[in-house]
Amino acid sequence: MDSLKSIFNRKPRGVGIELTPERVNLARLKRQGTALKLESLASVELAEGIYEEGQILDSAAVADAIQTVLAESKLKVKQATTAIPGRAITRVIPVPAELDDDELREMVLNQEASLYLPFPREEADVDYQKLGYFVDEDGIEKVQVLLVAVRKDLTDPYIEVFQQAGLMLNVLETSSFALIRTIREQLRQFTPQEAAAVVDIEFENTEISIVVDGVPHFSRTVPIGTFQIQSALSRAMNLPPSRNTELLQGMTVPVQSMDTVGAPQMGGGSNPGTTAMLRVLGELSDELRRSIDFYLNQGEDMEVAQLLLAGPGASIGQLDEFLAQRLSLPASQIDPISALSLEVDEEIPEAQRAGLATVIGLGLREV
């Protein structure tokens, strides 16, 4: 069975679990009338070399961490939803509207998937979802279909590690889908001609997704994350290297006046740590600019209207203002607690909220 098959189907209620290189996060939400409540939120650290670049390197250690986070949250569940970061191929493709469901499934999963995948179809888990109908320039009615594919050698270890931990995966999706689910209402403010650039700054990488009408039309992974920013900071300040990036949460990016050419002045003062951090964040903003330009150059009549920042790196002070200045685009930090009007038993510090957007999106899947 294709493990991605259940992305768009309903299953018994479980829990959302996010695997990242430095920790395993868990979230469980429940509906209270019309409101949503964050019932459980827990996290355990992972040591170096257990999970890297979206790949499970030590399945026993990951399974152990999943069991530990479940024990900490005191939950008795048998099902879970999780996500693979950034390795999915997503395409929006038009197909004839007159196809029945079986014909559509055959056409999308086999014929169309083979055209869009850079590897053999049999090596991929593939799923799809109908988006909406439209009439093309020849007057033919068609339906837009979102195709999602991930290599089986990436998905299979996830299924196995959750089995080791005593959980069945209801859903294995991509982290960008989980994140988009969290901010669905926010994304509704944009017109069909306006795209949002969702920038998820994680530990090792930054996931860039250009989202139109709640659907990722372009995705790219850039190898700059909180660890690279922290490492540059530590080197400049002669501190020992560390996987703990809490130092970043206390940092603020200096936002200075624009010079006559329209680029921000990058002085950084006399603080070598700030200068080093600015250099890495400058590289990240350049990669963002390249990604946005590449998308806009595809010829679609679109504009990117806003940057939405998520992930642990989004909590760096004034990063939204820094990127807004560099890219001449409005930028704001995603706050999943506010975005979903979540009821919480204990107040969650604002600095931690952007880093919870993906795991809360996974938990939302299980409501």
Are 174 and 285 contained in the same domain? no
Nearest C-alpha neighbor of 79 from the set 139, 1, 163: 163
Q: Name the strand (E) or helix (H) holding 106.
A: helix 101-106
Are 36 and 83 contained in the same domain? yes
Which domain CATH number covers 138?
A: 3.30.1490.300
Are 177 and 274 contained in the same domain? no
Domain of 93 in residue numbering reads as: 89-149
Question: Do the Cβ atoms of 219 and 89 come closer than 8 Å?
Answer: no
Task: Quote the pTM value.
Answer: 0.87
Are 115 and 51 contained in the same domain? no
Q: How wide is the angle at C-alpha 214 spanned by C-alphas 293 and 228, nearest 5°?
A: 55
Question: Do the Cβ atoms of 56 and 85 come closer than 8 Å?
Answer: no
Tell me, what's the pLDDT at 10?
55
Tell me, what's the pLDDT at 3?
56
- 3-state secondary structure at position 152: helix
Number of domains in the chain: 3
Which domain CATH number covers 249?
A: 3.30.420.40
> How many Å is the Cα radius of gyration of the chain?
21
- Burial string for 179-203 (b: 16+ CB within 10 Å, else e) reads bbbbbeebbeebeeeebbbbbbbbb
Tell me, what's the pLDDT at 168?
93
Are 198 and 283 contained in the same domain? yes
Are 257 and 350 contained in the same domain? no
Question: Do the Cβ atoms of 22 and 46 come closer than 8 Å?
Answer: yes
Give 10-residue mean pLDDT values along the chain (367 residues): 55 85 95 90 94 91 96 92 86 87 88 86 88 85 88 91 94 91 92 93 94 88 93 87 76 66 47 88 96 87 93 92 95 94 90 93 91
Are 94 and 77 contained in the same domain? no
Are 162 and 134 contained in the same domain? no
Are 321 and 254 contained in the same domain? yes
- Phi and psi, residue 112, nearest 5°: -70, -40
283: left (phi over 0), alpha (psi -120 to 50) or beta: alpha
Are 115 and 257 contained in the same domain? no
Are 52 and 130 contained in the same domain? no
Are 270 and 312 contained in the same domain? yes
Ordered alpha helix ranges (H), 169-301 = 175-182, 184-187, 226-236, 246-249, 272-296
Tell me, what's the pLDDT at 270?
59
Tell me, what's the pLDDT at 312?
93
